[in-house]
Structure 1
Amino acid sequence: MLIRRPVLDAIAAGTVTCAFRRWSAPRVRPGTMLRTAVGVLEIVSVEPVAASRLTAADARSAGYATLAALRAENARREGTLYRVTLRPAGPDPRIALRESADLSADDRAALTARLARMDRRTPWTAAVLALIAEHPGVRAPDLAARLGRETAPFKRDVRKLKELGLTESLEVGYRLSPRGRAYLHPPG
């Protein structure tokens, strides 16, 4: 579920508590945790709602200035209209993970084993980590092209490295996190 940054900021501030989406079937379920730029959000409920029953209060709770704006936004899409209630659920755990640069021998061994599993079919992790280390802040399509890869699969792979705390996204491109630098360049 994509949520624009101004809306994410409003959710974090507590002024937005729901979103409205048109889907053929719900794409999120209650209890789902979404990692976002403002931290983790929890999906509290997902309920179908008739557009005719929306109110000005619904619009405000979703961050729209007017009911007309909420209706116009959702009129452009097909499917059932759902009210998705959400709330902040804490910081993104990947932030603390990527900042943890003091790797023990066990940490290093676990990362090495995990990367080896990821490389089982086609080795790629070392090349992607080295490329990001050499070219921080470079657009994903440009990095992917340097490896002769399609952009979408490349970005998926970078997200896998981000899950391990080895990389972090920038406004444009990526860089190695402190954990990633410590893994690639062990002391001594």
Structure 2
Amino acid sequence: MPAIAAFFGRVMIALLFILSGIPKIIDPSGPAQMMQAAGLPGNLAMAVGIFEVVAGLLLALGVMTRLVSILLAGFVALTILFYHHDFGTQEGMTSFLLHLAILGGLLVVFAYGQMRWSYDHMRAARKGELAAADASTRVHEAELRAARAEGRADGAGLAVTDIDHDGRPEVRKRRWF
């Protein structure tokens, strides 16, 4: 059950960024004016929109979850610092607390990001399976080498009977090699 909640929580946080980044890509003039009013260059609006959409998609899919979540947490912290620091009004305080909650959610995703139903978890599980299979193969090959070495040492000098293609037995002496 916690894995299901973590999956849906991660997807919902990712949707926040995807849905807020798409308008910045479609019409960057409004966000550019807001950025200029905050003292930032207005031409960053398109880059911010692309960052939000790409990071949101990566977070939703569970690819590089920890890295993406910490980058988004830094982004939200900067957003709080530049835009949502008006504590004098109820609206400003609400906006600050909402962004603070998003920041907290991103830190939880950072802490528990590699849970089930993420690409990172599947990749780590597959890596473990491959390592176990490789170790099993190496053990099997070592056992075969040991058995062959014992068989050569034990059977050296004994007579061996082989059946040829014509059905007649052929007796020969086993050599050491």
* TM-score (ref. length: structure 2): 0.23
Q: Which has the higher helix share?
A: 2
Is the radius of gyration larger for structure 1 or structure 2? 2
Q: Which has the higher strand share?
A: 1
